[in-house]
Chains A and B, each alone.
Chain A
Amino acid sequence: NAGVTQTPKFQVLKTGQSMTLQCAQDMNHEYMSWYRQDPGMGLRLIHYSVGAGITDQGEVPNGYNVSRSTTEDFPLRLLSAAPSQTSVYFCASTGMGGDTQYFGPGTRLTVL
């Protein structure tokens, strides 16, 4: 099992550009989440999904879109990047009834 994979590892964008951060898991987990980590802020939940076709907002959803068309994939879209979205982004997944979230290695995003 590869676990949770994220691409790309690093990305630099200009203000106003759009991009998609990819996340995939091969553990057949129902729950998937996106977090961002900023200095002094811990990890904050952006969006989450409890299954294919079902998504909901977390603590800091503004500026981000998600969709969940398959169990395996949970992409995060930035429609118009802003410098405030400079952060490290982590994707995580959990199985139904599970209590442990498995995290991907992260994507470091810089918006100039």
Chain B
Amino acid sequence: DQQVKQNSPSLSVQEGRISILNCDYTNSMFDYFLWYKKYPAEGPTFLISISSIKDKNEDGRFTVFLNKSAKHLSLHIVPSQPGDSAVYFCAATFTGGGNKLTFGTGTQLKVEL
């Protein structure tokens, strides 16, 4: 039972354009969501997060949108850069969950010149 789903295994975008990565969840208990970025042969690194009390959080080129009624979140990267090419994981947790993260399966983003 996949509680966090990333239905697009891969995404290809041209440099300078917008990248939109999507994530859906099924567990209504989740109230905190995170995006991690992973390069080959490295551990995931934290990118941006959002609490369920918000519907948008922005950090530089990265914005995460949360639609609680649809149980959907998305990560927007504008403008996309070749260094953004990596695997992006969506993760979710809940208050009192002891920081246990439930991850999606990841989306491989390729930003082409």
Contact = CB atoms under 8 A, between A and B. Distances in A.
Whether both chains belong to one complex is answered with yes
A33 B34 CA distance: 16
Determine chain A's interface SS by DSSP, over half rule.
Answer: strand
B51 to A, nearest CB: 9
Interface stretch (B11-19, B63-71, B72-80, B100-108): B100-108
Q: How large is the interface on B (under 10, 10 to 19, 20 to 34, 35 or more residues)?
A: 20 to 34
Contact of A58 (B9, B36, B100): B100
Contacts of A99: 32, 34, 49
Given A42-B105, A100-B34, A100-B49, A31 B43 contact: no
Given A42-B4, A99-B32, A105-B41, 12 more contacts: A4-B43, A33-B100, A35-B103, A40-B9, A45-B101, A94-B99, A98-B99, A99-B49, A103-B45, A104-B43, A105-B43, A106-B42
Contact of A90 (B44, B49, B99): B44
A31 B100 CA distance: 9
Contact of B99 (A4, A31, A40, A106): A31
Interface string A45-64: 10010100000101100000
Interface of A: 4, 31, 33, 35, 40-45, 48, 50, 56, 58-59, 90, 92, 94, 98-106
